[in-house]
Amino acid sequence: MIRSLIFDFGLPWVTNRFLYSMKLKMMRGVPWTENLFEKNIEVKRLNIFKMNTEAIEGFLSSIPSRKNEQIIQAANKATNGIITGFSSIDLDYGSELNWHYHPISKVQIDNKKKWYEIPDFDPSRGDIKVVWEASRLTHFFYLARAYMLTKDMKYYQAYSRQLEDWIKNNPYSFGANYKCGQEATLRMISALIGHSVFHNYGLITDKDQKNLKELVRGSYKKVLSNFFYANKCIKNNHTLSEICGLIIGSWCCEDSSSLVRAYKMMDREISRQFSDDGGYIQNSFNYQRLALQIMECVLKLSEVTNVILSDNSKDLILKSAHQMYQMQDESGDLPNRGANDGALIFPVTSCSYRDFRSVINTINTLLSNERLYDKGLYDEEILWFSNKKLNDIPVKNLKRTSNAYFEAGIFSLRKNEDSFLMTILKNNKTRPSHMDQLHVDLWHRGINVFCDNGSYSYADPIGKNLSLTSSHNTAKVNEVEQMNKKGAFLVTDWTKSQDVSFTESSFNGTLISRNGYKHKRNIESTETGYRVSDVIYGKGIGCEFRFHTPCDVEITPIGFDLYYNGRILTSIETKGVVEVKKAYRSQQYMRKEEIKCITVKGEKLSEQYQMSFDIKLI
30, 94: one domain: no
Of the candidates 618, 609, 553, the one whose C-alpha atom is nearest the C-alpha of residue 581 is: 553
Q: Which domain holds residue 351?
A: 235-398
Question: What's the CATH number where 479 sits?
Answer: 2.70.98.70
For the residues 222-230, what does the mean pLDDT come to? 97
pLDDT for 56: 98
Of the candidates 240, 149, 254, 125, the one whose C-alpha atom is nearest the C-alpha of residue 186 is: 240
Query: Residue 606: which pLDDT band, with cuts at 50, 70 and 90?
Result: low
Over residues 127-157, the pLDDT tens digits come to 999 999 999 999 999 999 999 999 999 999 9
Cα 595 from Cα 473, distance rounded (Å): 13
pLDDT for 540: 66
Residue at a domain's end among 232, 263, 290: 232
20, 66: one domain: no
240, 383: one domain: yes
Cα 386 from Cα 396, distance rounded (Å): 18
Q: What is the mean pLDDT of the chain?
A: 95
Cα 189 from Cα 244, distance rounded (Å): 9
Phi, psi of 610 (to 5 degrees): -120, 150
128, 162: one domain: yes
CA atoms within 13 A on the CB side of 57: 14
pLDDT for 604: 67
pLDDT at 607 over 80: no
342, 408: one domain: no
Cα 67 from Cα 63, distance rounded (Å): 7
451, 492: one domain: yes
Cα 563 from Cα 342, distance rounded (Å): 28
pTM recorded for the entire structure: 0.96
Cα 597 from Cα 575, distance rounded (Å): 18
pLDDT for 478: 84
For the residues 340-349, what does the mean pLDDT come to? 94
pLDDT at 605 over 80: no
Over residues 4-54, the pLDDT tens digits come to 888 788 899 999 999 999 999 999 999 999 999 999 999 999 999 999 999
CA distances from 443 to 92, 456, 467, 568 (A): 36, 22, 21, 14
pLDDT for 503: 97
221, 288: one domain: no
Contacts 24+ apart (CB under 8 A), 397-400: 398/322, 398/325, 398/372, 400/325, 400/326, 400/328
Of the candidates 607, 551, 530, 545, the one whose C-alpha atom is nearest the C-alpha of residue 577 is: 545
142, 117: one domain: yes
Residue at a domain's end among 193, 213, 232: 232
pLDDT for 416: 83
45, 188: one domain: yes
Over residues 410-464, the pLDDT tens digits come to 999 999 878 999 999 999 888 898 999 999 999 999 999 999 999 999 988 898 9
Residue at a domain's end among 398, 424, 451: 398
pLDDT for 424: 98
257, 129: one domain: no
423, 383: one domain: no
Over residues 105-121, the pLDDT tens digits come to 999 999 999 999 999 99
pLDDT at 579 over 70: yes
Higher pLDDT, 337 or 1: 337
For the residues 52-69, what does the mean pLDDT come to? 97
pLDDT for 126: 94
pLDDT at 1 over 80: no
Over residues 285-304, the pLDDT tens digits come to 999 999 999 999 999 999 99
165, 288: one domain: no
Count up the domains in the chain and report the number.
4
Sheet of 419-424, strands arranged across = 403-405, 410-416, 419-424, 440-444, 447-450
pLDDT for 360: 98
